[in-house]
Amino acid sequence: MKATGVVVEYNPFHNGHYYHLQETKKATGADCIIAVMSGNFLQRGEPALLSKWKRTKMALLGGADLVIELPYAFATSHAPRFAFGSIYLLQSLGAESFCFGSESGDAELFSKTHEWLNDKQETYQEHIRSFMNNGLSYPSAASRAFESLDIPLALDLSKPNNILGFEYVRASRELGSHIRPVTIKRKNADYHDVMLGKGNIASATAIREAIFTNDAEQAAPYMPGYTLELLAQEQVEKGTLMNWERFYPLLRYQLLSTNPSEINRFYEVEEGLEYRMIEAMKKSDSYETFMKHLKTKRYTWTRLQRACLHVLNKVKKDEMLAILDSSPSYIRVLGMTGKGREYLGSVKKSLDLPLVTTVSKYDSAGLRLEAKTSLVYAQGAARDILRAEKEEFNTPPVIV
């Protein structure tokens, strides 16, 4: 069987995601689509709107055949490590290609840009450092550095999906991977759009904004019926959908009860950020207000959210780096269709990594971190800890 991979969060699954999966099948001719999906916490430093199990079901109903979990350490890291972990897992599962959405829509352009930048890497890094020394955030500095090199190509690395796509291609090249990159041009909505537009495709950002401003009915045309049903199920079961405001009291407690020197030991807390966090917290009764006080020109909103996430989960630098400095050490299956089960059966004996379907039967640093952060996630919905623990350790893969 021929497999292709996609890297996803599905927060929540919407019509644009459905379009991407259908176009992926057409572009690659794959028999099986493998989705590497982030768990309860996401790359932009946010809690997922609803559980990974519900999002897995959305993915399978929407066209994916096999869903595996991107471990917390990679799922909540900066773009290069996020991409590396994702591509490594797809390579480990024998995918022949991977397909990503981009503003460009030209896979060859990503490969050529990587080759050109690789030749100019030293100069590129010098320019990045120079722009950062002038107070720019890393993404802005990298974009400005790219522009300053006057590359004879048209890839716009200021666009979020182009940036991620470039990192996927770079990761596959650094791994010496045979996996072929394929890209689908994004349709209608930009990644950061906060307004619902014309047609039936909107960004996940705009859909979440509508859901949390009591405008969910207007968001309904932009999502498949099964997404709406699973969102409603989650609200009934947990009483709410997740966002940062649900976790802000827990974050405040961590900042109030932890010594600044200890806060500095949490991953991505650098350059005295712990003191700024404490001061911002004292002036803020909501997460939104807290972030506005915390924001600086040097750090992006996403970068700060990730730091807050690691403080919330009490994830220390040495704990994260021990995982990130190596490769993912297991393949955790979250769900599959009959086709996904067939594909797994065909590659199972040739896998280099252990295949995990029940967490309680396997132990690793990555899975221990996953279990810890899942219990924190459960607290956002004030869920029973024993029930949440049982769900994390004993839930079998979702079957569609």
The CA distance from 343 to 312, in Å, is: 38
The CA distance from 153 to 349, in Å, is: 43
> Token digits for 4?
């292709």
> Token digits for 65?
């055949």
The CA distance from 102 to 113, in Å, is: 14
- Output the known binding site: 7-20, 101, 161, 186
Pairing label, strands 331-336, 66-70:
antiparallel
Half-sphere exposure in the Cβ direction for 318 (13 Å, CA): 2
Q: Which residue reads 């689908």 in tokens?
A: 184
Contact 183, 172 (CB under 8 A): no
The CA distance from 315 to 320, in Å, is: 7
Cα distances (angstroms) measured from residue 120 to each of 163, 232, 295, 298 = 18, 51, 32, 25
- Output the known binding site for ATP: 7-20, 101, 161, 186
The CA distance from 116 to 85, in Å, is: 24
Alpha helices, H only, the chain: 15-28, 52-62, 72-75, 79-92, 107-119, 121-133, 138-148, 160-174, 204-212, 216-219, 225-238, 244-257, 260-263, 273-282, 287-294, 301-312, 317-324, 338-347, 365-380, 385-394
Contact 339, 32 (CB under 8 A): yes
Angle (CA) 219-373-81 rounded to 5° is 80
Nearest CA-CA partner of 43 in 306, 387, 263, 220: 306
Residue 297 φ then ψ, to 5° = -65, -30
Cβ contacts of 316 within 8 Å, gap of 6 or more: 265, 266, 267
